[in-house]
Amino acid sequence: EVQLVESGGGLVQPGGSLRLSCSASGFTFSSYAMHWVRQAPGKGLESVSVISGNGDSTYYVDSVKGRFTISRDNSKNTLYLQMTSLRAEDTAVYYCVRRTTGWWFDTWGQGTLVTVSS
Amino acid sequence: QSVLTQPPSVSGAPGQRVTISCTRSSSYVGAIYDVHWYQQLPGTAPKLLIYANDNRPSGVPDRFSGSKSGTSASLAITGLRAEDEADYYCQSFDGSLSAWVFGGGTKVTVL
C-alpha cells in the first residue's frame, strides 16, 4: 500500500524553527517528485515547495523563499521540510504529497499541524 | 487572488446534478494545462477525484465527471448524495508562474 506519514508539527513561537518529516512506503520513492502542500485554518490549498526525484531540483513559493528548505533522503525514503523564521501566517496543516509525471497529486499524507504563536 | 477561480459554494438536493467551474483568472494570460480535481471531506486530507481533465482513478464513482475547454474546466456530480458534502479543489500547472496552483475551493452542500 502506498503511504505517506508526516511528523514534526507542533507549536512554535514566531521567529522559531521546525523540521517536518514525511516517511514514504509502498513505492519507489526516488522515482517521484514530492511536494509540501499547506492549508491554513479554514483556507484553501497551497503548494509551497517541490523537489525532484533525485533531489537536484527544488522550487519554493515566494512567501517561503529563503526561509524553508526542502530535501529528501532516498536511502531512507524520507522527505523533509526545514522551516525557519516562522511567521503567524505559516500556521497551517502541512501535507506531504506525491506528484505523478502527469503533474497531478495522487497520494497525500494525513497532514501535520504547525502553529506559530506566542 | 487565485490563478484558478472557483465558486465558493454550490448546493443541491439529493439526486440532483451540480457542477463546479474552474476558470483561469483574467489577471493571468495563457492557456492552462490539464486540470485535476480533489475532494476533501471534513477533517481529512484531500483525495484525487479526477485527473487529466476527465479521468477517474480506480474506486471513484462514475457519478463524478470532469471536462475542460480552453481556459475553463468543470466538475459535475450527478445523483448527489449526502456523502458528497465536502470541499472540492481544482488544480493545474501554470506555465507563466512555473508553479502548481489550486483553485480557492468550492464547498458542496447537500440540502
How does DSSP classify residue A4? E
> With contact defined as beta carbons under 8 Å apart, do A110 and B47 qualify?
no
Sign of the four-CA dihedral B86, B94, A106, A77: negative
pLDDT in tens, A94-108: 999 999 998 999 999
Say yes or no to pLDDT of B43 above 90: yes
> With contact defined as beta carbons under 8 Å apart, do B104 and B87 qualify?
no
CB contact under 8 A, A45 and B102: yes
Chain A hits for B25, Cβ within 8 Å: none
* pLDDT category of residue B85 using cuts at 50, 70 and 90: very high
Cβ of residue A1 closer than 8 Å to a chain B Cβ = no
Q: Which residues, including other chains, have CB under 8 Å from residue B99's CB and lie 6 or more apart?
A: A47, A59, A61, B93
* pLDDT category of residue B30 using cuts at 50, 70 and 90: low
> With contact defined as beta carbons under 8 Å apart, do B89 and A44 qualify?
yes
Q: How many other CB atoms are there within 10 angstroms of residue B80's CB atom?
A: 22
Instruction: Tell me which residue of B80, B84, B1 sits closest to B37, measured CA to CA.
Output: B84
* pLDDT category of residue B29 using cuts at 50, 70 and 90: low
State the pLDDT at residue B42: 95
CA distance A109 to chain B (A): 7
Closest-approach residue (CA) in chain B for A102: B52
Tell me, what amino acid is at B21?
S
Cβ of residue B64 closer than 8 Å to a chain A Cβ = no
* pLDDT category of residue B28 using cuts at 50, 70 and 90: low
Say yes or no to pLDDT of B65 above 70: yes
Cβ of residue A103 closer than 8 Å to a chain B Cβ = yes
Chain A hits for B104, Cβ within 8 Å: 44
pLDDT in tens, A53-69: 999 999 999 999 999 99
Mean pLDDT, residues A83-112: 97
> With contact defined as beta carbons under 8 Å apart, do B92 and B30 qualify?
no
Burial class (CB in 10 A: 0-12, 13-18, 19+), A48: buried
A45 beta partners = A39
DSSP SS3 for A62 = helix
CA distance A104 to chain B (A): 6
Say yes or no to pLDDT of B31 above 80: no
